[in-house]
Amino acid sequence: MDPQCLHDASVSQTSRFTGLVELTATRMVAGGDALGRADDGRVALIDGALPGERVRIEVTADRADHLRGRVLEVLDASPARVVPPCVHAREGCGGCGWQHVATETQPQLKLDILRDALTRIARIDEPRLEEPVVLPMEGFRTTVRALVVDGKPAFRRHQSHDPVLIDSCLVAHPAIDELLREGNFGRATEVTLRVGAGTGERAALADPAETILDLPPDVMRGKSAHVHEVIDGHTLRVSINSFFQSRTDGAETLARLVREATGPDRVIADLYCGVGLFAVTADTPRRVVAVERGRAAVADAKHNLKGRDARIVRADVGKWKGNKVDVVVADPSRAGLGKDGARTVLACDPERVVLVSCDAAALARDVGLLVGADYKLTSVTLVDLFAHTPHIECVTILDR
């Protein structure tokens, strides 16, 4: 949670809690914790609580201005609380931190998190949040990174580095779930699995890379492994080490929203372009400059944009000097643009900025930086890519 979310606390410098505390959660905040107040007025960030619940928590951090804790017992449950549908989540797997939240409630809680972050961090009253795009909540994830224990896959226990062995995954694409169920990953410590949902191609990368994997013969292996994915009729090469959206329907939705926001016949800067998803699916752009730091992703972008009027620049976006364009599309990592990335966006002097963000607090900080430079927030659209988790993905439009 961003520190600014703590500013409204009634700070106690002397009061300290130990052991168990009872309190009521009031709302969700960036990061997926619920917020409540301790008896001395301090803010409490509660892992595992839902708004409106009375809970007993174990205090895990006791600071002068706030507490952190995790739920040990729910005393008065929210109607939105459900039994996690996955047996591994019930065993403590931390891959899906919101499986205890009813599926129909999850998008609304994420909207609440976005609204809270934009109001508190970006200081924007009543931000315009569009109707969220809700996607299927099972069998969607096309890239999975897992621990390996004695040749078998595992995910980390919630809030821990300890492994939880799994024999299936509720959210994994069926072609990935088959590998999790039937594969043997030898002496690897971790493994990355990827499938192209539109082509059926599969790839795997073990750590250490030379590990012998017992997988079906169709699975391409090693650092040069890649798959092809089909997005809106465009075939993209995606290397095993390249960033790509975690689900095909999500990538298509983001591409559509970005394309609609960008419009036709525009000069575009595609920052943090990855394998070139937004440049490839753009609506007849006049010209594109695509900037990306990752070596594998740059190679993929050059392959995917071959024959188009596009220039690919391998550079750290925050250090790139920028070009004058009509529209900037930016899809930074979870940390967001930051001051350096925002400086590059402004150096491009665009009429419109289309920001694809995967963290509510980082989005709010970035929006604050751009609004402070005479852009206005036009709209925010939540795309619920990460079902059963508090993770946010959204497309934000800012206009000069």
Residues with a known catalytic role: 358
Q: Decide: 137 and 110 in contact? Cβ < 8 Å.
A: no
Alpha-carbon 270 to chain mean position: 19
Helix pair 360-371, 338-347: axis angle to 10 deg: 40
Q: Decide: 370 and 330 in contact? Cβ < 8 Å.
A: no
CB contact set of 178 (below 8 Å; sequence gap of 6+): none
Burial class (CB in 10 A: 0-12, 13-18, 19+), 4: middle
Give residue 378's identity as a one-letter amino acid code: T
Q: Decide: 360 and 32 in contact? Cβ < 8 Å.
A: no
CB contact set of 13 (below 8 Å; sequence gap of 6+): 64
Tell me phi and psi for residue 346, to 5 degrees.
-65, -30
CA distance 245 to 173: 13
Q: Decide: 91 and 83 in contact? Cβ < 8 Å.
A: no
How many residues are there in the chain?
400
| Bridging pattern class, strands 20-28 and 34-37 | antiparallel
| Bridging pattern class, strands 234-239 and 226-231 | antiparallel
